[in-house]
Chain A
Amino acid sequence: MDTLVLLGGGFASALTPENLLWAFVGVVLGTAVGVLPGLGSAMAVALLLPVTFKLDPTGAFIMFTAVYYGGLFGDSTTSILMNTPGNSSAIATAIEGHRMALRGKASQALATSAIGAFLGAVVSTAVVAFFSGVIIDIALRFGPAEYFALAVFAFVATSAVVAQSMVRGLIALSLGLAIAMVGIDAQSGAARFTLGVPSLFEGIGIVTVTVGLLALGEVLHVASRIHRERDDAQLVRTGGTLWLKRGDLRRAVPAWLRGLGFGLPFGTIPAGGSEIPTFLAYGTERKLSQLRARRGRRPDEFGKGAIEGVAAPEAAASATAGTAMGALLGLGLPTSATAAIMLAAFQQYGMQPGPLLFERNADLVWALLASLFVGSVMLLILNLPFAPLWAKLLLIPKRYLYAGITGFAVLGVYASSYSVTDLWLLILLGLLGFMMRRYAIPVAPVLIAVILGPLAETELRRGLAIGQGDVGVMFTGPITLGIYAVILLAVGIVVVARMRAARRADAPSDRTTSPTA
């Protein structure tokens, strides 16, 4: 039981007062950005990155992962109480969660979601801790062809499969690849797309890209709609006991477990976050409920506030966070926007996630994993009884909120390089982010491409050099072929589903079958 010893050492480090403090700061910040619509953990970590440069890396990463987990706890609070999802990962929760709240079961909905998120976080972290050896064994067999295939997988999954429109997703991807290519090419020394500007020789920093696209882009987007958004969201009052009754528990427990089943594998798939598994979990619960109703066991409560519709998506969402950390630490593969920025953070500290990280920085890895358990407990305590308090964050006047975010955006970008050129880049990227938001071009593929683009290029060139120009070397080995097979399969499924949806839309009958939330 090597793992237990290592994890024990991790707990010893995670439970020092200093690291407990960072975990606490992280979960508070994470919950806050999770609660606030439009803000997410990716942006929060990107803004923290430059200002934590002087911190010791263990403390910094404990804080970053706590923000990541916190975002997935906080996003459901406003979904339930106000029908305003804090993040896309809580849209599925909002559907049934808000109806539960309207029926006077707000406390139960909040408890179901907080416990579900807690279960997801703890179980997925445990899976990662105990299977890290397996992940490393696989990762050690990776060569250039495998890493390139993995990068292609991430590109295709985030841009073509997940995005609503394949063309828009791929446009986002190519924009990210273009941004990543700016600067001096490390292998040949050629200057690429720098236009002779010396501050571009080192490339465009990930902090600038993330803050520009997510923070400034969001501020501009909100500014462009300031007089159009309705501001009539009402806070549902909570009251009564937080404890779930036995009947509720009997329905919630299986749903939590099924949600876990969706979330755990999806964390390792670069699908841009936890949105997909939450919807799959929600859809499954709804179908199961219809099935039960047909068999006469229990009336179908979906549409009226079914507890399963809250339990399953929440467990699924936070289960992706743990396994996403596993993919990041063990394979060096970011599967969500936040994980992509954390990969950049590792690089900033001179570390390379992947199998070697577990050898070279074992102390940090195990302290991090242990602190995820600690952080999950903190999050449960912060979110279970205090959820209505968190929802009050929405009462901050919008103008101060966005003015403050703009201030932090310029501060973070300036502090990451102390160069005014980066501020001009920030403005350009903010405009780009605004344009992308306006035309529903997804942002996650840009971030994944900026992080993985250089890796993909390096491995492609390395592989081709080994094969002396023979493209066939990029398609050898069972792992490589397996990855490409999965890509083809996924694209095939999506294309078929889209064509079916298009045909259904052409048929004039039922376009509004969805329950409006």
Chain B
Amino acid sequence: MNPQRESAPPASSRAAHPARAWLRGRSEVFVGLLVIGVGAFLGAQTMAMHVPDTSTGPGPQLFPGLVSGLMLVLGALLIVQVAREPAVPPTDADPDAESAGIVGELVEGREARRTATHSDWRTVGLVLGAVVAFTLLLQPLGWLLSGALLFFGVSTAFGGRRSLFEAAVALVYSAVVQLAFVAGLGLNLPSGILGGVL
């Protein structure tokens, strides 16, 4: 599920591949492919679905069939649109243009144009890594430690430099949540290896 990666190399690198050059501003075709993929998956699963034959009238396959067909068409339409009109490089001139939408068109007479964005994959990866680590460690380590680790990971990814201080803030955070939600609201968070201590 990372179709965006193709657009990551900065535009300044030498015009390498013709395919790459075409993809600049058109990385969204992968979204279209993803939609087609999901539509095809839905269609295949719908056809292979085991339907208990007690049901009368339109069964459980009607709606999925409709949605699957819709997704195939929409994915194709999106690819055509993106291929014909790639996103323009970002400009600082009109920062609020994209949020106005159709209303902006109606009221302001201006057209919302998609702008290409450049993504910082390192930060995204660090945040994702922290969440994945949390998911893996929650039950063995318990909320107090894994929650603190998650907080520490995200705040470091967002540019926290003083590791010791960030770690202390993270521990305070997870402890306050533990107190408020487990002791206060009665949530049942795993205590993990600290189970005997708490």
Contacts and interface: CB of A to CB of B under 8 A. Distances in A.
B35 to A, nearest CB: 6
A181 B67 contact: yes
A406 B45 contact: no
Contact of A280 (B107, B118, B134, B185): B107
Contacts of B96: 91, 94, 516-517
A163 B96 CA distance: 16
A504 B112 CA distance: 12
Nearest to A458: B63
B163 interface: no
A399 B158 contact: yes
Query: In which size bucket is the chain B interface?
Result: 35 or more
Nearest to B57: A465
B51 A497 contact: no
A484 interface: no
Majority secondary structure of chain A interface residues (helix, strand, loop or mixed): helix
A461 B74 contact: no
A175 B93 contact: no
Contacts of A189: 52, 54-55
A250 interface: no
B179 interface: no
Nearest to A191: B50
B182 to A, nearest CB: 10
Contacts of A440: 98, 114
A410 B131 contact: yes
A407 B157 contact: no
Interface in B78-109: 78, 81, 93-109
Nearest to A423: B135
Contact of A161 (B4, B50, B102, B150): B102
Contacts of A177: 63, 67
B70 to A, nearest CB: 5
A415 to B, nearest CB: 5
Contacts of B107: 279-280, 282-283
Interface string A401-416: 0111011101100110
Contacts of A219: 127, 154
Majority secondary structure of chain B interface residues (helix, strand, loop or mixed): helix
Nearest to B156: A399
Contacts of B151: 403-404, 406-407
Interface string B48-74: 011110111111111110010011001
Contacts of B193: none
A167 interface: yes
B183 interface: no
Interface in A267-293: 275-276, 279-280, 282-283
Given A406-B127, A410-B131, A427-B132, A460 B63 contact: yes
Given A181-B64, A225-B120, A407-B173, A175 B147 contact: no
B137 to A, nearest CB: 10
B119 A406 contact: no
A227 interface: yes
Please give me the 10 A-B residue pairs with the lowest Cβ-Cβ distance, nearest first: A465-B57, A283-B107, A399-B158, A279-B103, A188-B55, A403-B154, A224-B119, A185-B60, A399-B155, A403-B155
Given A91-B99, A439-B28, 15 more contacts: A51-B181, A170-B70, A178-B38, A189-B52, A191-B50, A193-B41, A193-B45, A223-B124, A223-B158, A399-B159, A399-B166, A403-B155, A411-B189, A441-B31, A504-B111
23 contacts: A51-B185, A163-B102, A167-B74, A167-B78, A174-B67, A175-B35, A175-B71, A187-B60, A279-B103, A279-B104, A280-B103, A403-B151, A407-B173, A411-B147, A435-B1, A439-B114, A460-B58, A464-B62, A501-B111, A511-B110, A512-B110, A514-B108, A517-B96
Interface of A: 51-52, 54, 88, 91, 94, 161-165, 167-168, 170-171, 174-175, 177-178, 181, 185, 187-193, 216, 219-220, 223-228, 275-276, 279-280, 282-283, 398-400, 402-404, 406-408, 410-411, 414-415, 418, 420, 423-424, 426-428, 430-432, 434-435, 438-441, 456-457, 460-461, 464-465, 468-469, 494, 497-498, 501-502, 504-505, 511-514, 516-517
Interface of B: 1-4, 28, 31, 34-35, 38-39, 41-42, 45-46, 49-52, 54-64, 67, 70-71, 74-75, 77-78, 81, 93-112, 114, 117-121, 123-124, 126-128, 130-132, 134-135, 138-139, 143, 147, 150-160, 166, 169-170, 173-174, 177, 181, 185-189
